[in-house]
Amino acid sequence: MSGPHLQPFASLSQTARDLKSGALSALELTQRMLHRIHTLDSQTHAFARILDNSALEQAAKLDRLREEGVPLGPLHGVPIAIKDLLFTKDTPTASGTSVMAGFSPDYDATVVTRLRAAGAILIAKTQLTEGAFGNHHPSIQAPINPWQAAAWSGVSSSGSGVAVASGLCFGALGSDTGGSIRFPAACCGIVGLKPTYGRVSLHGAFPLASSLDHIGPMTRTVEDAARMLTAIAGYDPQDETSLNVPVPNYVAELWNTKDLDGVRIGVDFSYVSDGVDPQVVTWIEEAMKILQSLGAAIVPMQMPASARTLADGWPQTCARECADAHRHLYPARREEYGPELAFLIERGLSVSASDYEALEAQRVTFRQALDQILLGLDAIIAPGMTMTTPTAQRMTQAVESSEEGANFLIFTAPFDYSGHPTLSLPFARDSIGLPGSIQLIGARLQESRLLQLGAAFEAATPTIDYPGIGMA
């Protein structure tokens, strides 16, 4: 093929600019990326299905539109991957299960429609854990972390995280119910954004727990996340949880903050250190120094005590709502379920109304308390995980330990309950070279501020040198 050599680790934003200018052909780029995917997916297991025909048809159409002078969308010609719980018309959406393997929706999820409208090329659907819960169905090979094969690749959005970190797409959509955007982002060394609940439509996304589910971008840069969020955010009358508020141009607003003078970053020193790996605590301390060097003030605060209650209670809420989501399939087709998802559903069937309602009351308490705290702050800093990137085996042991498993959710699950936006940023390396991360938590609907802070932090830290998988 003629033209410039494929740069699989180029930013989504730069690739979009090159496509819009005509420096890159959408068709040629898509062909090259599909070749890379087919060559390397046996090493990564990132994808549930590869959308060769539709991707090539869309790419050819977009090239024609550019040649005709038709106005182009912000993601014109960019190959994007989406998690395989997002409905795609006439293309199977299995949600990581065996029981839904033959399910072909007759409509696209709203976020899929919006990606297409923005000019994105949907190149593949990424693999996920069964039903977006803890483990993969026994028949499915888990995605492989490109940094180290033995390393955990994160939980349900692991396919999206691996695909982005492996240079198999320029961005991906994931979903987050208890940390499933942020854990893979942390383990794979990429940016992960869980938006405000209701900021991005859930219509056409098969639920794990509908009141906790969020859809968001997973990318290699903060600007890329801003570009994807601009494309998918906004009110959707087909989703009763959708917020009818204007959508900013997150990319245009990204550079409104050139320094962090006057910015206030909250930190609860007990929250970020109790039960946390000392290396992770050191990363938070180093990140705070960088933020201070940019002009930000670090402000001591106290995380509401209900955060712990919600982290501990998350399995009950998740189980109850998951059982409801699967009522048309379970127990009628029980034999097609893997053991972990079946266990979750069975647990959900036994969660009492009073226990569920008690957690809902704690959700309200926590949300209100956090809203009040964030009135005086631009963001809160916390770790992405309680430990450095574990091995897959180590993670299994942690989950099996009731105390350690509950503690692992302390930096993620409370914000799924409250709906506050959170941004996972890659930062530093552990002793064996695996990526680390930090997390910023913002006020509801203040994604612009989070992204501004993230971009400033990103610019002040070394560029990520991703594993050169398949680059030889």
Domain ranges of the chain: 12-459
Give the full edge-to-edge strand order of the sheet including 191-194: 47-50, 121-126, 79-83, 172-176, 214-219, 191-194, 422-429, 435-441, 379-383, 264-267, 297-300
What are 379's strand-pairing partners? 265
Determine contact, residues 59/26, Cβ cutoff 8 Å. Answer: yes
Q: Within 145-199, where are the H helices?
A: 158-165, 182-188
Q: Show pLDDT as tens, one digit a residue, over the chain (472 residues).
A: 344 578 999 999 999 999 999 999 999 999 999 999 999 999 999 999 999 999 999 999 999 999 999 999 999 999 999 999 999 998 999 999 999 999 999 999 999 999 999 999 999 999 999 999 989 999 999 999 999 999 999 999 999 999 999 999 999 999 999 999 999 999 999 999 999 999 999 999 999 999 999 999 999 999 999 999 999 999 999 999 999 999 999 999 998 776 899 999 999 999 999 999 999 999 999 999 999 999 999 999 999 999 999 999 999 999 999 999 999 999 999 999 999 999 999 999 999 999 999 999 999 999 999 999 999 999 999 999 999 999 988 887 766 555 556 689 999 999 999 999 999 999 999 999 999 999 999 999 999 999 999 999 999 999 999 987 664 3
- SS3 state at 165: helix
The C-alpha atoms of residue 85 and residue 250 are separated, in whole angstroms, by: 26
Within 164-268, strands assigned E span: 172-176, 191-194, 214-219, 264-267
Give me the long-range contacts of 323-332 (CB less than 8 A, separation at least 24).
323/347, 323/348, 323/349, 323/351, 324/210, 324/348, 325/206, 325/207, 325/208, 325/209, 325/210, 326/131, 329/99, 329/100
CATH-assigned architecture of domain 12-459: Alpha-Beta Complex (3.90)
The C-alpha atoms of residue 321 and residue 351 are separated, in whole angstroms, by: 10
The C-alpha atoms of residue 401 and residue 16 are separated, in whole angstroms, by: 45
Active site residues: 83, 156, 180
- Reference 128, options 33, 227, 208; nearest CA is 208
Provide φ and ψ at 173, rounded to 5°: -100, 140
